[in-house]
Chains A and B, each alone.
Chain A
Amino acid sequence: MLRALDLFGAEWRKLWGNRRVSGCALVVWPVMALGASLGLLLLNVLEARLRTVQLLSWTDVALSVWDVQSNLIGRVAVLAVAATLFAGEYQWRTWKNIVPRRPRVQLMAAKFAVLGFAILLTFIVMSVVMTVGFGVVNLVVGAPYGPDPTLNVIGDFLTRYSIRAGLSFVDTILIGAVVALLAMRARSVLAGAFFGLVVLLIDEALILILGTLSLLFNNESWLELLRLRFTYNLSNLSAILQGGGPLAPVPFPVTMNASGTGFTPPRWRPTRWRSRR
């Protein structure tokens, strides 16, 4: 067990020691949260008409981070980290140094664990920064920042937060598995990330492709194939775990919107901070 922690520690140090990757793909998120808070503060101080923050609740702010993580941009961070973890050893020709020191299965497991926990930590820190940052903004402008943290509220929040964080972890590991396969085939970090992106884009574009097909053939059953998207399956799981029913595989009415971009409509946009529930 201690030896497993040792291995995790080694991979963890390697990832964070790689400043270019950890900086661009991980550290940047809490920094962006800080920037968003400062920007919002500035806007609110300068321009009273933009005082929309008072409609925010700290629970929504904290949870919104997981929407960021699971959208395309958030997943690109996962791609970058995963490609580095899995193709880096080929590119730097360092596999030969570590494979004799540990069974391959353990090395791979450690990389997946580091990937999952690094993403988790990054976005937890981001949510703390953002919750506190937006809180400060609300304090400065004298707006309420509910709900009151009663035991019930906190309990409910923590449950939802853990579910979202847990799903992000699963999402990360799944994407990591795809990238690991691609990156280890390509033996290059950039190629691994690139092919990973292609897979993600195809996953997103399936809505467009299948939507078009269903319109062309006037047959909605094409859309049933969207159930194969792993993004759909994760959102579905998320909805079920959070007490909602199963989701339809298409996030919008087809007839109106099949020519849409294929992206799930963003729920998170700093200038439109209104609780949608």
Chain B
Amino acid sequence: MSEIAIETRNLTRRFGRVLAVDDLNLAVETGQVYGFLGPNGAGKTTTIRMLLNLVRPTHGEVFIYGEPVARNHGVLKRVGAQVEDATFYAFLSGRRNLEVLARISGVDVDGRIDALLAQAGLAERARDRVGTYSTGMRQRLGLAATLLTDPDLLLLDEPTSGMDPAGMASVRDFIKSLPAQGKTVFLSSHLLSEVEQVCDRVAIINRGRVVAEGPVSALLEQGGLSSLLIEAAPVETARAALAAWSPVDAAERPGWLYLAGAADDAPAVTQRLVEAGVAVHQVVRQRQTLEAFFLSVTGEGVVVEGAGGDAPGA
């Protein structure tokens, strides 16, 4: 069994009347890219602040590599973090900012700084004041800053916000490459596609509570919601033949049938249709997107086991 990089126990934070984080229990194993997905105001940043001992929990505790961060600041030496948007001393150059942060960390990294700046695509602007950088450049400098100490664990809070699509893609590729270097990544995001592309596991958080947790692939299939879309003629004969799967009309495809949760039954469905003498034009296995899943667990109405009831208005 691999080591646990982050563990939270009953982690709770209240700001006045706002319950920003509510009884959060997470366990992030090493070597993963762990997604922390939630809409704005869900409590992602507050959680990361507590992981870094920047904010004191109202209840509960954070353990990084088994050490309680509130009582052992030293364990944060193994962590590199970027909380919210990247902020720097605007009057210093990009390079000088990294030098200052390295000194504060107490690590000797002069050789690494140039490599990190080059990796961030900032080699040419390294001597300019950060005040003159674009948001995307600052975000990339922020990422470079998290790597200064060659940390084992990276906490990245929406690292692609403010970037152009090309910048986002390169940051995602970069994040994906980290586990191969033995690093663990905790990536918060409100972008479903980002988590879907980059993460191995995901916790979905809404209004401070985890509403779903698991491997990304499993969540996509969860609840038997993966379905089949069928184009067949005549459609009424097909509907009768497939009664066992309770077909409905597909929402945006007139003449198509939708079989909820039947993704694994494609061969059997096709066979039934052929036996009934129906012409089968297409059988499409429709994987549920994380987007749809996300809406189903965070939105109103749809209740997913163990998640829906107490989330809204808690």
Contact = CB atoms under 8 A, between A and B. Distances in A.
**Residue of A97, A99, A101 most packed against chain B (CB within 10 A):** A101
Interface string A90-103: 00111111111111
Q: Interface on chain A toward B: helix, strand, loop, or mixed SS?
A: helix
A102 B87 CA distance: 17
Nearest to A105: B73
Interface string B105-146: 110000000000000000000000000000000000000010
B90 interface: yes
A146 interface: no
Contacts of B54: 95-96, 99-100
Given A18-B91, A93-B87, A7 B101 contact: no
B92 interface: yes
Given A7-B106, A101-B76, A103-B73, A96 B87 contact: yes
**Residue of B54, B96, B100, B105 most packed against chain A (CB within 10 A):** B100
B294 to A, nearest CB: 28
A98 B104 contact: yes
B81 interface: yes
Contacts of A39: none
Contacts of B101: 10, 97-98, 101
Contacts of A10: 99-101, 103-104
A9 interface: yes
- Give the size range of A's interface with the partner: 20 to 34
Contacts of B52: 96, 99-100
Nearest to A22: B91
Given A17-B92, A20-B91, A97-B145, A102 B104 contact: yes
A101 B104 contact: yes
Interface in B33-81: 49, 52-54, 73, 76, 79, 81
A59 B28 CA distance: 67
B89 interface: yes
B275 to A, nearest CB: 65
**Residue of B76, B89, B149 most packed against chain A (CB within 10 A):** B89
B123 to A, nearest CB: 21
- Give the size range of B's interface with the partner: 20 to 34
Nearest to A20: B91
Contacts of A103: 73
B106 A3 contact: yes
Contact of B103 (A7, A18, A96): A7
A9 B105 CA distance: 12
Interface string A1-37: 0010011011001100111100000000000000000
Nearest to A7: B104
Nearest to B93: A17
A102 B258 CA distance: 57
Nearest to A19: B91
Contacts of B290: none
A233 B124 CA distance: 54
Contacts of B87: 92-94, 96-97
B4 interface: no
A92 to B, nearest CB: 6
B250 interface: no
A12 to B, nearest CB: 9
A47 B73 CA distance: 66
Interface string A79-112: 0000000000000111111111111000100000
B105 A102 contact: yes
A6 B90 contact: no
B107 to A, nearest CB: 9
Contacts of A95: 54
Contact of A96 (B49, B73, B79, B92): B49
Contacts of B163: none
Contacts of B89: 14, 17-18, 92, 94
Contacts of A98: 101, 104
A224 to B, nearest CB: 44
B83 interface: yes
Contacts of A19: 91
Interface in A38-63: none
A102 to B, nearest CB: 6
A17 B129 CA distance: 10
B48 to A, nearest CB: 10
Given A100-B53, A100-B79, A100-B81, A9 B92 contact: no
B56 to A, nearest CB: 12
5 contacts: A7-B104, A17-B89, A100-B54, A100-B81, A101-B106
Closest 4 pairs (CB-CB, A-B): A10-B103, A3-B106, A6-B103, A93-B87
Given A13-B99, A96-B83, 18 more contacts: A6-B104, A7-B104, A10-B99, A10-B104, A14-B89, A14-B100, A17-B96, A19-B91, A92-B89, A94-B89, A99-B53, A99-B54, A100-B52, A100-B76, A101-B105, A101-B149, A102-B105, A103-B73
Interface of B: 49, 52-54, 73, 76, 79, 81, 83-84, 87-92, 96, 99-101, 103-106, 145, 149
Interface of A: 3, 6-7, 9-10, 13-14, 17-20, 92-103, 107
